[in-house]
Amino acid sequence: MNKSYWGITQEELFLFNCGSSHHSYRFMGAHPIRWRGKPGVRFAVWAPEAKRVAVVGDDLGWDTEGACLEQVGSTGVHIGFVETISPGSRYKYRIVTAEDDIVLKSDPYAFYSERRPSTASIVYGLPEFTWSDQAWYKTQQKTPSYNQPLLIYEVHAGSWRIKGKEHYYTYEELAEMLIPYVLEWGYTHIEFLPLMEHPLDQSWGYQVTGFYSPTSRYGTPEQLKYFINECHRHGIGVILDWVPGHFCKDAHGLRRFDGSPLYEGADWKRAELPLWGTLSFDYAKSEVVSFLISNAIYWIEQFHFDGLRVDAVATMLDLHMDKPPELHTLNADGGRLNLNAIAFLRALNETVFHYYPHLLMLAEDSSSYASVTKPTDLGGLGFNYKWNMGWMNDMLRYMASSPADRTQQHHLVTFSIWYAFSENYVLPLSHDEVVHGKRSLLNKMWGSYEQKFAQLRLFYGYWIAHPGKKLLFMGGEWGQFDEWKDEHMLDWEVLQYESHQRMHRYVKELNYLYRSLPVLWQNDFDPACFQWIDVNNASQSQLSFIRKSESGMLLAIANFSLHHYCEYRIGAPMSGIYTLLLHSNEVKYGGNTTVLQRDVYSEEIPMHGQAYSISIELPPFTFLLYAFQSEE
């Protein structure tokens, strides 16, 4: 186990073959090193079925047989040291398959790549970066994320702001604009759509060719590190969308990498994902597991990401998901669960939390699989958060319906509380809901132009007060009217109009209110934090509830109807003063309420099963939030 191949040990290769290499990127791929006093680049690539693997590129020529790599025993890994290649050079692997075909492949472990449509890998290595975010990590380690506010601003770097068509801001330039904006609007985290190298802009990064390559669209790896370092210095966390479920079929990518189905499974029915035109990873192969788990650690260790939002978990778990019947397969037990994917996800989360206990691991999962956020030793998948797709779908369906129909759909608003504490949920209002003809959040709302704004304010208020952490896609904060157009910049110009300006102000103040009230985030996942006051008022499309913690108690009231009530009585659990914190229909937010009664005193009039009650004015499409304090 002591033999070394240009610095790569047999033990490292053994762990890679066993699926237990958590840092395989440290020796796989292209690494500029000095060997016996000579500078060069060491290459290592997994291609077990290849007859021959060589490196070709700028320094060796592209139409030559290249510099041949040595296959190390039965490991399937080809390794070599090439003196004539220098950092910054473009390269690919020239692979001779078992059928004597010749294919040119990008490096699966490339740390940097050409900008599309070019497809070569670039020798880059792992250069040192001077981080100055130690204070951020000390702060994060003091309190678990469960007991902190989590208010995520989801961003697509190629359309938040751009200079022109396909003329993007660099990561450094984005730092100058995006960080101050996120700070001013009160978000705790930025979540980026995938930043790995991908050939098609319209895939938004979800169809990857370079899993270890920060996309060159927005600059260099060092510039991305600079962005994250600056976020941390200003108290902002950064989450990365990560895609371990599938990969592109592009000829230079992972598909049939060595002439055989290597990263994908040999069973084409399992490998094919026709809905996306991609191939799923084969989690039964230990080397694929090493590749993926090391990739997660790479982004956390090398770039200091604070969390990974794992994409399409439902598709990973379900062998039938997004597939026509002719592609359905069964597992060894005769079921449709992908048992290898389950084992992989558990190993992934165990590994990540072993090294980084305070990291955020969020599952984008629309399945009914139980215990996604439970520890693996209790039978769970081991994530610490899961997107609440059910809440999102129900609420958007409800908000799009007419007030007349809402009396028959009241359950869509209330059902989520039945399962709200079964997982650690994030309430996502993400990019997926405002694209491909689905319309923007504002334009999903029922009614006239003014009613749409009123209902979006109502919806956001209910979203903030509902148990669970929060995520909002860019543009939603000012009520972008058109749906997201990924090739164009957000419609910032609408902020010249008063209605959007006032929506912008509302969301900003709502964000600050959320962060300033620990009762809204301290006990998000404890059923004791929530109590219905009036849950069954379907005929009037209204509801009210309590949020409570050791920090206090809040009373939330939502009117989803067209009716205006001058005197509306709400049950109150305690005697005292209820102080108005938020009124979504205030003029300053775009509503028409000018006179506000800030303090309301409870009366000893039983209502809604409570010993006390308060009487308030309740305009249509309005959300109200009150803080309780005793009369003493």
Tell me which residues are annotated as active site: 311, 364
Task: Please answer whether residues 141 and 134 qualify as being in contact, where contact means their C-beta atoms are separated by less than 8 angstroms.
Answer: no
**Strand pairing category for 552-559 and 237-242:** unpaired
DSSP code string of 462-478: HHHHSSSEEEEETTGGG
- Residues 6+ positions from 485 with CB-CB distance below 8 Å: 159
Amino acid occupying residue 50: A
- Are residues 117 and 132 in contact, defined by beta-carbon separation less than 8 angstroms? no
Query: With contact defined as beta carbons under 8 Å apart, do 279 and 273 qualify?
Result: yes
* 36: Cα separation from own chain's centroid: 45
- Please give the span between the terminal C-alpha atoms of the chain, in angstroms, as a whole number: 74
Which residues fall within 8 angstroms of residue 138, CB to CB, at 6 or more apart?
A: none
DSSP E strands: which ranges in 374-491? Answer: 385-387, 425-429, 469-473
Query: What's the DSSP call for residue 263?
Result: S
Q: Please tell me what DSSP assigns to residue 200.
A: -
- CA angle, 55 then 56 then 62, to 5°: 165
* CB-CB contact of 543 with 558 (8 Å): yes
Indicate the SS3 state at residue 111.
Answer: coil
- The span from the CA of 603 to the CA of 582, in Å, is 22
| CB-based contact 309:352 (threshold 8 Å) | no
397 vs 410: CA distance, rounded Å: 11
Q: CA–CA distance from 200 to each of 196, 223, 241, 572 (Å)? A: 12, 22, 17, 55
Cα(120)–Cα(122) distance, integer angstroms:
7
Output the DSSP codes for 135-179: HHHHHHHHS-GGGS--EEEEE-TTTSSEEETTEEPPHHHHHHHHH
DSSP state of 564: -
Distance (Å, whole) CA 143 – CA 183: 21
What span, in angstroms and rounded, lies between the C-alpha atoms of 210 and 250?
Answer: 11
Say if CB 187 and CB 194 are below 8 A apart.
no
Q: Are strands 52-57 and 67-68 parallel, antiparallel or unpaired?
A: antiparallel
Rounded Cα gap, residues 170 and 90, in angstroms: 21
